Structure 1
Amino acid sequence: MYNHDKTFPNDRLPLTQTDPDFIERFDHFVLHEVANQDDLDDRTRMMAIVATLIGCQGIDEFQVILPVALHAGVTSVEVKEIVYQSVAYLGIGRVLPFLHATNDMLTVQGVELPLPSQSTTTIANRLTAGIQAQVDIFGNQMQDFWKSGAEETRHINEWLAANCFGDYYTRTGLDHLQREMITFCFLSAQGGCEPQLTSHAVANIRLGQDKHFLIKIISQCLPYIGYPQSLNALRCVEEAAQQSK
C-alpha cells in the first residue's frame, strides 16, 4: 500500500490546506483503491502513468509523478525513451514541455546529460529496420505497408515505417512490449484515436500482453484521464480481444 508522505512529500501539501475535502477523497482513491486494485508492479504502473500524463498533456502532474517514477525503479533512460517515442504519437508541439521538464528533473537528481545514445539505426538503414519492427510487432502483412495506399499519401506510410518505427522502436532502453504498452497509453490518453488504439491493443495482445494486462493499465491510469477516455479504451481492448481470437 502506498504511503502518501513518501509518495508525494511536498507537492500535495498546499492542497491539503486549500482543498482538504477534495484531496482526502482523491488521495484515498488513487493511493489506496486504484493502487491496490491489481498485482501490477510499481515500475510498470509508473511507466504507464508517465506515458499517460504526456498523452493527456498533464505537465503539472507529470512533474509531480516523475520523481515518484524514478524512485519506483523507472530508469533515466526509460523515462527519456518514453518522452522521445511520444513525439511520434503526439507531435513535438505537445511534447517539448515534457522534454524540458524531464531534463530539469534529471539534472536536479544529479544525472549527467546527455544520456548514452540508445540509437541502433542510421539514416541509411532506418527504413529497413523500421519495416522489420512493424513486422515483428504487427505481423508479416506489414512487410509492404510502407509503399501502400494512394500515391499522393504513400509518403506518410513510408515516414511511419522510417520515422515512427525506424527512429524510435529500434532504440534500446525499452523493448517492444514496453513500447507497445506506452503507445497504448499515449493513444488512450489523448482520445480521438480509437482506430489506432484498437490496432495497438491488438499488437499488445499479439506480443503477449493480454486483455487482462491492458485492463490493469487502463485502471491505473484512470485517475489521470477520467472515466470517458478510460471507458473508450476498455471498448477498444474488447474489440482487440475479439479480433485476436
Structure 2
Amino acid sequence: MQTLYALDTQQVARGSDEYFTGDVQVRMLFPPTDHTSFSGAYVTFQPGARTAWHQHPAGQHMIVTDGTALTGTRDGRVITAGEGEVVWCPPGIDHWHGATAQAAMTHLVITGSRDGENVEWKEKVTDDAYRAGQPSTVTESSVQRLPAKTRAIVPIAAFTAQGDMAALGAAIDAGLDAGLTVNEIKEVQIHLYAYAGFPRALNGVATLMRIVGERKAAGRTDPAGPEAGPLPAGGDNLETGKAVQTRLVGQPVAGPLFDFAPGINELLQRHLFGDLFARGVIDDQARELTTVSALASMEGVEPQLESHVAMSFNVGLSHAQLADVAAALAESVGAIEAGRLAAVLASPPPTPG
C-alpha cells in the first residue's frame, strides 16, 4: 500500500542554534521506514546561514531547488551549486552547507541512515571559514572603499544595535585610533536611540565613557570635537523635521501606514528628523551609514533597511560605498549582517510611487 505524507502533516522547525548559524528552516518530508533507510527534508537558509560541521554515516544527496548552495569540506574546498544541481556527500566526510552571504537558498536533502543514525554533529563553522568559501562576486570597481574614519562607524553602530558591549568597546577603541572624535562617536550612540532603543544607546554611551577613561589613564588624549548645535528657535522642530524627511526620502512621506497612525510620523518628524538631525556633529551621510549598519545588524527590520539604503543614495552615498559597508560588516561583525545589506544592494530599486 502506498503512503501519502499530506502537506499539513509535514513538520516545520527552525534550525537549532546548536547546529546552525543564522536563520534556517527545516521541513521534514518523509522519515525512514522499515523498507527504506533514508529520509527527506527541504532546508531553507537565509543569507549568511549555514550548518555546523557534520558528517553522515550513510551519506547525503543535496538537490538545490532555489538559489545558490555552498558546501565545504575540511580540505578547504567549497562547491558552489545552482538550482537543479545535485551534490553527493559520501559517508564519513566532514562538511558544511548553506547559503551565500547575498541570497537565500533551499535544497532538498536525501539523507541515509545507518544503525538508526543519520548525522554526527561537530563544531560550528567560523565566520572566517565561511567567508573564505564565498564565491567572488564583487569586483574592485564595484567597491569604493570608505575613508578609515568613516568606515570605523560601521562596527560601532552594529555592536551598539546588537548590545554587544565587549565588541563595541574594541570597535570604539579602533574608531578613536582611526580619527573619530569623542563627540562623533557619542553622536552615533545618541542617533541610535531612535533605531535600537534608549537602553542600548545608553549602554553605548557608557561604553564610550569607559573606553575614553581607560585611554586617558594610559596617557592618551582623544579630541572631543565640536559640540552639538542649538535646536531651532522656538523649540518646535516639526517643520524642520518635515523638510529633512522630505530631503532624505526624495519626496513628502505619505501612505496607508501613516494614514492609519499619523502620530508616529509626527514623532518621526519632530524627534528623529527634527531634533536629532538638527544637532549636527555628524552629517547626513554619517547618520545614514550609522542607521544602515545598525539595521543590517538587527533581525526582522528588512523593510526599514531597504528604506534607509534608498535614503543613503539620496544623501549622495554610492552603491559602491554601501558595498564597502557590507564588506566592513563581513570583516568586523559577521557574514549574516553583511548578507542582509548585500541582499538589499543586489535587489532592483523600488519603483517610485
- Go from structure 1 to structure 2 and tell me whether the alpha carbon gap of 1:114 and 1:91 turns closer, same or farther (over 3 Å shift): farther
Of 66-75 and 78-87, more deviation after overlay is shown by 66-75
> CA separation in 1, counterparts of 2:232 and 2:196?
22
Q: Does the residue aligned with 1:40 lie in a helix, a strand or coil?
A: coil
**Which residue type is aligned with residue 326 of structure 2?**
I
Q: CA deviation at 1:111?
A: 6.1
The answer for the alignment partner of 1:166 in structure 2 is: 274
Deviations 1:68-109 (CA, angstroms, capped at 9, x unpaired): 211111111210110000100010122221111112223443
Deviations 1:113-160 (CA, angstroms, capped at 9, x unpaired): 897333433673211111111111112323x67x9412xx22111111
> CA separation in 2, counterparts of 1:100 and 1:235?
33
Structure 2: 5+ residue runs without aligned partners? 1-124, 133-139
- TM-score computed with the length of structure 2 as normaliser: 0.53
- The total of aligned residue pairs comes to 211
- Go from structure 1 to structure 2 and tell me whether the alpha carbon gap of 1:80 and 1:240 turns closer, same or farther (over 3 Å shift): farther
Tell me whether 1:149 sits opposite 2:259 in the alignment: yes
State percent identity of aligned pairs. 20
The answer for the alignment partner of 1:73 in structure 2 is: 179
Q: Say which of 229, 234, 238 aligns to 1:118.
A: 229
Are the equivalent residues in 1 in contact too, given 2:232–2:278 (CA < 8 A)? yes
Q: CA deviation at 1:175?
A: 0.8
Q: CA deviation at 1:185?
A: 0.6
> CA separation in 1, counterparts of 2:174 and 2:300?
29
Tell me whether 1:238 sits opposite 2:334 in the alignment: no
Structure 1: 5+ residue runs without aligned partners? 1-21, 30-35
Are the equivalent residues in 1 in contact too, given 2:246–2:252 (CA < 8 A)? yes
Of 79-88 and 62-71, more deviation after overlay is shown by 62-71
Considering Cα pairs closer than 8 Å and 6+ residues apart, tell me whether 1 or 2 has the greater RCO: 1
**Which residue type is aligned with residue 94 of structure 1?**
R
How big is the alpha-carbon RMSD for the aligned residues of Structure 1 and Structure 2?
A: 3.1
Are the equivalent residues in 1 in contact too, given 2:329–2:337 (CA < 8 A)? no
The answer for the alignment partner of 1:86 in structure 2 is: 192
The answer for the alignment partner of 1:9 in structure 2 is: none
- Go from structure 1 to structure 2 and tell me whether the alpha carbon gap of 1:227 and 1:127 turns closer, same or farther (over 3 Å shift): same
Q: CA deviation at 1:174?
A: 0.8
Are the equivalent residues in 1 in contact too, given 2:161–2:196 (CA < 8 A)? yes
- Go from structure 1 to structure 2 and tell me whether the alpha carbon gap of 1:238 and 1:163 turns closer, same or farther (over 3 Å shift): same
The answer for the alignment partner of 2:160 in structure 1 is: 54
- Go from structure 1 to structure 2 and tell me whether the alpha carbon gap of 1:185 and 1:122 turns closer, same or farther (over 3 Å shift): farther
> CA separation in 2, counterparts of 1:114 and 1:207?
23
Q: Say which of 219, 225, 230 aligns to 2:327.
A: 219
The answer for the alignment partner of 2:283 in structure 1 is: 175
The answer for the alignment partner of 1:193 in structure 2 is: 301
The answer for the alignment partner of 1:105 in structure 2 is: 211
The answer for the alignment partner of 1:17 in structure 2 is: none
> CA separation in 1, counterparts of 2:341 and 2:333?
11
Q: CA deviation at 1:238?
A: 2.6
**Which residue type is aligned with residue 163 of structure 1?**
H
The answer for the alignment partner of 2:243 in structure 1 is: 132
- Go from structure 1 to structure 2 and tell me whether the alpha carbon gap of 1:107 and 1:119 turns closer, same or farther (over 3 Å shift): farther
> CA separation in 1, counterparts of 2:245 and 2:275?
12
Q: Say which of 313, 316, 319 aligns to 1:205.
A: 313
> CA separation in 2, counterparts of 1:74 and 1:50?
11
- Go from structure 1 to structure 2 and tell me whether the alpha carbon gap of 1:219 and 1:113 turns closer, same or farther (over 3 Å shift): closer
> CA separation in 1, counterparts of 2:194 and 2:234?
17
* Structure with the bigger percentage of strand: 2
The answer for the alignment partner of 2:45 in structure 1 is: none
> CA separation in 2, counterparts of 1:53 and 1:232?
15
Structure with larger Rg? 2
* Structure with the bigger percentage of helix: 1
